[in-house]
Amino acid sequence: MKLQLTDLSKSFDGHCVLDKVALTLDDVHTLVVIGPSGGGKSTLLRIMAGLEYPDAGTVAIDGESVKFDEVSLQRYRRTIGTVFQTFNLFPHLDALGNITLPLKKVHGYTSDEAADIARQILRRFHLEKHAHKRPAELSGGQRQRVAIARAVAIKPRLLLFDEPTSALDPEMTAEVLDLIGELRDEGRDLVLVTHAMGFARRIADQVALLAEGRIVEVGPVSQVFESPQTQQSRDFLARVLKY
Amino acid sequence: MNVKRLFFAPRDGGQTALSLAARVFNFILVGLLIALALYFSFQSLNYRWNWGAVYQYRQMFLDGWLTTIWISLVALGLSILIGLFFALGQRSRFLPLYCFSKFYVELIRGTPLLVQILIFFYIVASAIHLENRYVAGILILAIFSGAYITEIIRAGIESIGKSQLDSARAIGLTRLQTYRYVVLPQALRQTLPPLAGQFVSLIKDSSLLSIIAISEFTLNAQEVNSYTFSTLESYLPLAVGYLLLTLPISLWTRWLEKKMKYET
């Protein structure tokens, strides 16, 4: 996947969250975005997911520029799978219903086709026993995996994860990260915002460090973690890798 | 049997741990006490009961009761539609609709139903040449109840967290689809208890339609009173008749609330 961000800027209530963010990666499969809280990582991901309008700048994936008007964005969102930190699933639908809803109503599958696809994915993720459970009856890790299943079911060209494991305990974190690792091994393109540094090192091919709305450091994973170029990145990595 | 258990709920366990004996005993006890209080207060009035006269007019009571039932049902159906429309209108980006929705709610909730009935029937209905007082009565009752239902539904919709709307957008649902498949199924389920409460209010409020000579339950009881001069014997059945309608709904509301608690 070719990813290009030029001069991307976004402010909320006068507070500048992204400040002319620029990034060009010609062939990236797994981009991990790290950085201090409030640095703009979530906002960047939401813009890439088509959920926020940037104040200025462009986003281009595989050469296609994303048009930021509601009609084009609605079409764009169908091609992207997004998984948030919490509250991905709809509480009134069971796991199967959560996955089939976008398949039926957005992508036009019939009920039977959608149910087949959903069951296949649940089986792959070892969740078929939980297909008829509501989110309230699932553990945090299971919920996140169903959310990932929903994102994957629509066969997106890009998967976006916004701190998918930050709200989970270590054991559930591991089960979700295993799954993300498998998806990456399948060859899917991912952009992942995470604080799980060990995991980031393992699966990323490119890493970008976003702090105070600007890309402070970007490059191949080994370069960023072993020989960071700026003092800011060195400080951040030292703090984060301490424990 | 421990006498204390009959009168006091256990310290831990709360209401659900009450034994059946304690429940039955206390309901009978309280019922008896109230009946005794009523009996002695009527005794002191030296009132001559004249149930015979009122019994002659029992058909009027029945007709009035049935009229109240169907008026309330029709008005309820209409008011839910009205309430849904204005609840969505209050979230609309089309400003005239947004303003009109807010205006409607404040105006209707801020004025007495009695005044609204009078204005609607004697002014508005005449202006639009609506002569059927039953249609007019049902309409104004629906408009009145609709304003309260609007707020109930609006609260239900707003209780759906923003993160769910985000999720819905992220998977590509349009705004309309989000309302239909995500927001409304949850909001309506949560608003069922207060909606049932509003239905109880509607049934009681329908008694005010008597002032425009709609032959519902209250008006019929008033007429029986004017024929027989037996006030208590005319109005006590009136109260019982309304209770017969509202009590089942109240109990159903409580059952719904208990059911909702387990689901979240």
B182-226 pLDDT, tens per residue?
988 888 778 888 898 999 999 999 999 999 988 899 998 998 888
With a cut of 70, say whether residue B53 has pLDDT above it. Answer: yes
Amino acid at B27: F
pLDDT band at residue B261 using 50, 70 and 90 as cut-offs? low
Report residues of chain A scoring pLDDT below 70. Answer: none
Alpha-carbon distance A51 to nearest alpha carbon in chain B (angstroms): 7
Measured between its terminal Cα atoms, the distance across chain A in Å is: 33
Q: What is the pLDDT of residue A102?
A: 93
pLDDT band at residue B17 using 50, 70 and 90 as cut-offs? low
Contact B189 A92 (CB under 8 A): yes
Strand partners, A192: A32, A161
Question: What is each CA distance from A151 to A64, A76, A147, A185, in whole angstroms?
Answer: 21, 14, 6, 17
For residue B133, the Cα-to-chain-centroid distance in whole angstroms is 22
Q: Give tens-digit pLDDT for B70-98.
A: 999 999 999 999 999 999 899 888 999 99
Q: Give tens-digit pLDDT for B136-184.
A: 999 999 999 999 999 999 998 888 888 888 899 999 898 889 989 998 8
Q: What is the pLDDT of residue A149?
A: 93
Q: What is the pLDDT of residue A62?
A: 87
Q: In which order are the strands placed within the sheet that holds A56-61?
A: A15-25, A3-12, A56-61, A64-65
Mean pLDDT of B39-55: 79
Q: Pick from A47, A80, A88 the residue to mutate for testing the B interface (most B CBs within 10 Å).
A: A88
Alpha-carbon distance A161 to nearest alpha carbon in chain B (angstroms): 12
Rounded distance between C-alpha atoms, residue B54 and residue B60, angstroms: 10
Mean pLDDT of B233-239: 87
Mean pLDDT of B255-263: 71
Alpha-carbon distance A218 to nearest alpha carbon in chain B (angstroms): 27
Q: Which residue of A has its CA nearest to B181?
A: A101
Amino acid at A202: R
Contact B171 A150 (CB under 8 A): yes
Q: Are A40 and A21 in contact (CB under 8 A)?
A: yes
Contact A91 B186 (CB under 8 A): yes
